[in-house]
Amino acid sequence: MKPAAFDYEKPRSLDAAVKLLATSDGAAKVIAGGQSLTPVLNFRLAQPSLLVDVRGLPELAGVKEEADAIVLGATTTHAQIEDGRVPDPTNGLLRRVARGIAYRAVRNRGTLGGSLAHADPAADWLNVMALLDAEVLVHGTKGGRRVRASELANGPLSTVLADDEIITGVRVPKLSSAAKWSYYKVNRKPGEFAEAIGAFVIDPVRKLARGLIGATEAAPHPIADASALLPRFDDAIGRAAVSAAGFEAGTYEIQVHLGALRRAAQQVNA
């Protein structure tokens, strides 16, 4: 289908973009690569009156290295991460996940910040950044703030961002070279949104053993201390974790999420 009509602006600075959003009364949408938003516009599920294109904004591009983290600009594309054109502070997790996002033609335009702002519960970055306890950097009329990635989504396709706030980057904590990770997606076909995601990251140097139940009904469900599920996966503890993520006993959903979590646990030990 064709989208409903909208206006389009391409501001030259982050402040100008924020101003456009602030004066649009919630009727504007931010667009970068457009790979999540445009399908929604084409289906007319969203009918904004204005698109604010932030793709070329210098404030959203590039990479910054900090002592214990890497800050990836919001307009970093999935393909840039896949190809290693930006540093991966996670011992290869980001690169591997990037390769599994949709298809190459989509990854060439789709952005890290755009995927997070779209907040599809099954989207890879929303879940991976929650697993890593990354922080999402946000800028609005009142200035900048940081949001924990696990607290960004407050429902399916919904975030805690105000109407005038734009994601500018993601602060990804560095893992040590001894870190191990796993990321198990249940997909009917490569490139589709996952039906279930299970993931773990273990870092002996940072004394970290985190898990994640992803592709839930709303926000990702990180497990801050997953040591009870490792190295031997305990089915009863796993089932309790999946229940805590919002799935009801006896349903297909609990089975498929438990399966993904169990396989992720087996992979991280392998």
Partner 1 sequence: MKTIALTVNGKRVSGNIEPRTNLADFLREQLHLTGTNIGCEHGVCGACTLEIDGAPARSCITFAVACDGAAVRTIEGLEHDAVMVQLREAFTAEHALQCGYCTPGMLMTAHDIVSRLPDADEARVREELSGNLCRCTGYVGIVRAIRRVQALRHK
Sheet holding 28-31, edge to edge: 7-9, 50-53, 28-31
Instruction: Name the residue nearer to partner 1 (CB basis): 109 or 206.
Output: 109
DSSP codes, 139-158: EETTEEEEEEGGGTEEETTE
CB 235 within 8 A of CB 254: no
Return the biggest CA–CA distance within the chain. Answer: 55
Instruction: Name the residue nearer to partner 1 (CB basis): 41 or 74.
Output: 41
* Minimum gap (Å) between residue 41 Cβ and partner 1: 8
Instruction: Name the residue nearer to partner 1 (CB basis): 51 or 258.
Output: 51
Instruction: Name the residue nearer to partner 1 (CB basis): 194 or 245.
Output: 194
* Minimum gap (Å) between residue 26 Cβ and partner 1: 19
User: Which residues of the chain form contacts with partner 1 (CB under 8 A)?
Assistant: 1-8, 10, 31, 34-35, 38-39, 41-43, 51, 53, 55, 79, 102-106, 108-109, 189-191
* Minimum gap (Å) between residue 236 Cβ and partner 1: 36
* Minimum gap (Å) between residue 97 Cβ and partner 1: 14
Instruction: Name the residue nearer to partner 1 (CB basis): 103 or 252.
Output: 103
CB 15: neighbour CB atoms within 10 A? Answer: 12
Q: In the chain, which residue ranges form alpha helices assigned H by DSSP?
A: 14-22, 37-42, 78-82, 93-99, 104-107, 112-118, 124-131, 235-244, 252-269
Residue 136 CA to residue 119 CA, distance in Å, equals: 12
* Minimum gap (Å) between residue 40 Cβ and partner 1: 9
